[in-house]
Chains A and B, each alone.
Chain A
Amino acid sequence: MTESSKPILYSYFRSSCSWRVRIALALKGINYETVPINLIKDGGQQFSEEFQTLNPMKQVPALKIDGITIGQSLAIIEYLEETRPTPRLLPQDPKKRASVRMISDLIAGGIQPLQNLSVLKQVGTENQLSWAQNVICSGFDALEQILHGTAGKFCVGDEVSMADLCLVPQVANADRFKVDLNPYPTIRRINKTLLALEAFQVSHPCRQPDTPAELRA
């Protein structure tokens, strides 16, 4: 089997989970190719036989790297962390690392899946907005409180971590679902600080190869 020299990321411009991985790749200076998977067109390109073979979960992101294919954004990010250790995305201190994982899981396991495309389809168009808003507010209520204890400049202390990679895309989702972010000043502050960083801009949904013209920056 020949290994391609550049990693391949299967991504959708607006997928918050894909954005997490795009940020990690940008922070670690990893050059990669994007294969866009449109989650809406053609009934959802993630359901194609070809993509199912690649990722049986039929979700983005998936990353083909070093001869293997990895699904699940946090698993991808931890693989990148272990194989391309600088700059760090997980603190050395175990307690801080636990905080980073807790926040990442809160978002990636406790908020986003409850408001993702397949769930919203089940919920139905009438109830979609209020469902998504409830899910996000519940999660952000908890997150805001947790951040009071863990945050410095960023989610955990003063170094960018995996938690921050989860935060920014989730705030973008909150914006899309018109969630009022006034009750979450810490989340807002950290989000603003992070968006000033180049890695969060270059990976932004408005700058991807599959970003539609009307949404392009």
Chain B
Amino acid sequence: MRFCPYAQRTLLVLLAKGIRHEVININLKSKPEWFFEKNPLGLVPVLENSRGQLICESVITCEYLDEVYPGKKLLPDDPYEKACQKMIFELFSKVPSLMVSFLRLQQNKEDCSGIKEELNKGMNKLEEVLKKKKTTFFGGNSISMTDYFIWPWFERLELLELNEWAAQTPKLQLWMAAMKQDPAVKALFMDVKHFQNFLKLYFQNSPEACDCGL
């Protein structure tokens, strides 16, 4: 689905590794029957390989792609470096649900200050990581898996202007600027108007939501 941040992870990795692929978008507000054969949970993304094997869960699809396609490696081989990437990912792990909560509260015109507070705390933790590492990206000086895993939410937080934390996180700002230079990231930029329309229709459960901008 064109606005799904989880599916965006898989697309980022496909683009970053130069993997030829076909995209089939699923209307999540009107799921076709056949899709449940691909994933009984009816969730995207689902990756289907040349053998017809199906892989679900965005993080798992990305790790799979890094393993079975040679070329640019997005995950480090070194076990400690790999562990560091996963620890950073853990620090980020609350952000997706915070963003969804914010959107729901915003829809109902309720107070979001609690969410914003949580988000600021989370972002400060990530800022500390970058300060300590002294590198541009979370895995070092070139872009790697963790950067792609967390990017889709940063893109959306900016489009939603849910970014009070930006003022206190200069390293994170530099990271975002560097990410925006990456060809894979650039290729998947969402149009702000289409995204806003999508959100509006999505929360209204409209079957038109997923087609915004087409």
Contacts and interface: CB of A to CB of B under 8 A. Distances in A.
B71 A86 contact: yes
Secondary structure of the A contact surface, majority rule: loop
B20 A197 contact: no
A29 B20 contact: yes
B137 to A, nearest CB: 21
B40 interface: no
Interface stretch (A49-57, A113-121, A199-207): A199-207
B18 interface: yes
A198 B71 contact: no
B19 A29 contact: yes
A192 to B, nearest CB: 13
A202 B18 CA distance: 16
B109 interface: no
Contacts of A29: 18-20
Nearest to B65: A198
Contact of A201 (B20, B51, B72): B51
A201 B70 contact: no
B20 A199 contact: no
Given A29-B18, A29-B19, A160 B70 contact: yes
A109 to B, nearest CB: 25
A87 B16 CA distance: 13
Q: Size class of B's contact patch?
A: 10 to 19
Contacts of B70: 27, 87, 159-160, 197, 199
A29 B70 CA distance: 11
A5 interface: no
A199 B49 contact: no
Interface string B12-31: 00000011100000000000
A111 to B, nearest CB: 24
A31 interface: yes
B50 A197 contact: no
Interface string B59-78: 00000000111111000010
Interface of B: 18-20, 49-51, 67-72, 77
Query: What are the 5 closest A-B residue pairs judged by CB atoms, nearest first?
Result: A87-B71, A202-B50, A198-B68, A160-B70, A29-B20
16 contacts: A27-B70, A29-B18, A29-B20, A86-B71, A87-B72, A159-B70, A196-B67, A197-B68, A197-B69, A197-B70, A198-B50, A198-B69, A199-B70, A201-B50, A207-B50, A207-B51
